[in-house]
Structure 1
């Protein structure tokens, strides 16, 4: 069995009204982390799931139409908080990172792609085409700032290959085996953005027991749910956002179906650890501690 070591991280935060992010919330401004994750696979090496914000995002928000994005979603980023700086603190150079798994193309998830010149970008093939030609206000309205993408973004993209899902991923009918070894599956959860994906990762030894894993109660699994919900509680309880917030969704009906699918899967895998991008990760569930990868390519 292959296990993946997973480290949740945060690169900046955005401000929003709590009442918009969760029904019943207060009409009060709250700070929400811009989460991403570092994955360490024993053979494939290191990979990021998204990147959070970067100085490039702050620069884009000082120019039109990025300034509009910044007015709607104010961003705060402290020194040393970028993904590149945090990896450097762990002894990794930017060129050492070979893979970024991109959940979707919103600015808070791809803000630091330019900081990793040697990385390939792995994503759903349906994520980029609907946004590719958007510019100006049309792009900013979709939380998409095309200048954040590297100039050679298209040549460095690698499409996730979806096929019939293995047992234990119902109600998802298809999934992509990210590392081709059953350790990490991507499932499609579009709606918040086109082609959005979530990851289901084997991070603990219990994932290989009859009671845990994909066909059991979820023990040993971690769900990286991206923006399927603003909070872990909202995802576990299938709680939607305020109706006003739906105007930001790419497809409202798709978003509801995707959130319900993840909620349904979690009901049958209740011991899965859940991490959403804008909330603190669940704690108290054990994760694997692996030796150094054989290689980081």
Structure 2
């Protein structure tokens, strides 16, 4: 939907990411609305595993969003298109699950969970054992949970269909279990290097998600613990009542399948508590206490923004040279989604 540039903050000594609506979509009212909605939804979410949105604005007829800069890659290209080490795959899914469960508690459904929307920070030089942070990005088609009853067929087709839940194809009201399904598809892709239901034409892709047997990752990758078959079978259940109740529950099951000998995940995931709001208030009164239902506090990090390959940069187009008084460098140009 947009092009993302690295930009110098006009007043602070740090880099940000500037996402600009694709020129081909500038006259598309629906695309413009979805682009602005991305900023609205993401701005409501403050979590260490979610790319932060700082501001949004307009330069001429071009809409833009200023957001956190991430020096790294995305999960789709982290293994150069192939499968990841199983421990690393589980860690990425676990961190993403934290972001998703938090957004669900805030009333926001992502609806487009896939490896390309999960950013993986490069390890910092000189910090052995630091695997880099994992951050969820692109809330462009996110929907407030109370609004999912009005999901349109057009909205369904905007989603990345390779990772879409069966109820998205059936144009049914969605809930958090749609994101659970997509996260399960993401885990399958990271473990095997393949889509659970490959294919690009819509008809066979729909048939796969709606009717085909759930694929077994251990059958596609030698040496993968057989427990992942059960994890994927439940995460990708056609009937959402049979899926994991939360993304955190899926992540915990994946950690169990991995086994303690291989896991490089520092803590076990605990499902979010319904008492989260009360714990937040308690923490506000006693800042020295940390809520047991929130992720552990992290050390301060430099400002970040999304990027796949910072080494491959280009000058920004002339019409954007003055945007936010920033010097822009082109980082990547994902295909427009229509």
Bigger strand fraction:
1
Bigger helix fraction:
2
Q: TM-score range, shorter-chain basis?
A: under 0.3
Q: What TM-score results when the alignment is normalised by the length of structure 1?
A: 0.27
Larger Rg: 2
Q: Whose RCO is larger (CA < 8 A, sep 6+)?
A: 2
Q: What TM-score results when the alignment is normalised by the length of structure 2?
A: 0.24
